[in-house]
Amino acid sequence: MRLLSARQSSLRRVLTCLVFAFSFAPSFALPSTPYHDQIQGLSLVPRKPVTEKDTLVLYNIEDEAKPGFDKHDYSRFKYGDLTFANQYGYEMAKLTWKRLVKPILNKDRADGKPLTRFASMVSRGSLPTAATTFETYFCQYLNRYLAQEGAYAVLSVPILKATSASQSQDYATMSDADREKLMNNEHFTFDKEAVQGMVVFNLDDIYITGGHERAIRRTFKEESDAGNHHDVYYLYIAKLVNTKIDPAIETRLNEVAVPQFSDFKAIIEGPMFVIENRFVKRMLRASRSDLEALIASLDNGKAFARKLYDAAIKNDFHMGGKAYAGNLKLIKEKAGL
């Protein structure tokens, strides 16, 4: 395998970190606590991780009532509570190290070969998502294992949509057929030279119908057909394995912590909140009265409104015609802009 030079690798990591840092500023910060067992307040539950071929899953969902994880925590994670992005990132890093990375490095040493390099990929846009925050902590914790082994840090490489669905689309509300139809029109791209010769981890938060994964696999198959083979593993917090459960379970899981719109107050005023894409969409789709009441209830509603407005226009929600115009205008007014 052809590896990047140390200088090229360092430069790529610096550039990737800078881009990621600016995309999260000013509301995102990594924790200072070095290890998971020193973190307070996490509601960990026992889980039975599963490795299937090239897929690694923390929780297989067979029963919606008992998915194996705390549904309330997961819902907060989906709406920007980094406490649980941290938790899931640690759990996945620990599992990936044990099941995949450590055995690969052991074999490298036994064969007298240079240590394998690893890359982490996640679909990335203008705003952070639950998946990107999960990936951030995954890389942070996996890097600590790699450093102990004298191996290079995992390289975080964004996988980008070459084509994009409408901002108004929400996969969580779609049927299997509708998801597949939409994803068949999606195409992804990534920095092919950056990951040359590396083992790639493609991360996402949840697997429901597999449409997104199939689209990513098509991208890597095209690369393979062109003579650029990559060893790719697909990593998920949770996977729906009971086909009798309808895909709308994703929406139901997302909303557990916020049955009332006013429940967002607790998430927003939490110590590790970041404004992410799903959260922005939820705010823009709310009724005017609910949104106005929420902003008024916050300790610093004006500052929140400014961050929310900037996040919305950063992702071009202001270009969505009438769909979001009313709430964008309200947010702008509350921000004093």
204-215 pLDDT, tens digit each: 999 999 888 888
119 forms bridges with which residues in the sheet?
Answer: 155, 200
Contact 239, 207 (CB under 8 A): yes
pLDDT at 189: 81
Place of tokens 């639950």: 130
Q: How confident is the model at residue 230 (pLDDT cuts 50, 70, 90)?
A: confident
pLDDT at 193: 83
- Rounded to an integer, what distance in angstroms lies between the CA atom of residue 195 and that of residue 226? 15
Contact 315, 126 (CB under 8 A): yes
- Rounded to an integer, what distance in angstroms lies between the CA atom of residue 24 and that of residue 264? 20
Lowest-pLDDT choice from 34-38, 71-75, 122-126 = 34-38
178-201 pLDDT, tens digit each: 655 655 566 778 888 888 899 999
pLDDT at 188: 77
**pLDDT above 70: residue 263:** yes
Work out the average pLDDT over 251-262. Answer: 97
| Edge-to-edge strand ranges of the sheet holding 199-207 | 50-52, 55-61, 231-240, 199-207, 118-123, 155-161, 188-189
Q: Percent of the chain scored above 70 by pLDDT?
A: 75
pLDDT at 186: 66
Q: Which residue has the higher pLDDT, 169 or 45?
A: 169
Q: How confident is the model at residue 220 (pLDDT cuts 50, 70, 90)?
A: confident
- Rounded to an integer, what distance in angstroms lies between the CA atom of residue 337 and that of residue 302? 10
302-322 pLDDT, tens digit each: 999 999 999 999 999 998 878
Work out the average pLDDT over 138-150. Answer: 98
83-99 pLDDT, tens digit each: 999 999 999 999 999 99
pLDDT at 229: 72
Work out the average pLDDT over 106-134. Answer: 95
pLDDT at 5: 46
Q: Which residue has the higher pLDDT, 28 or 325?
A: 325
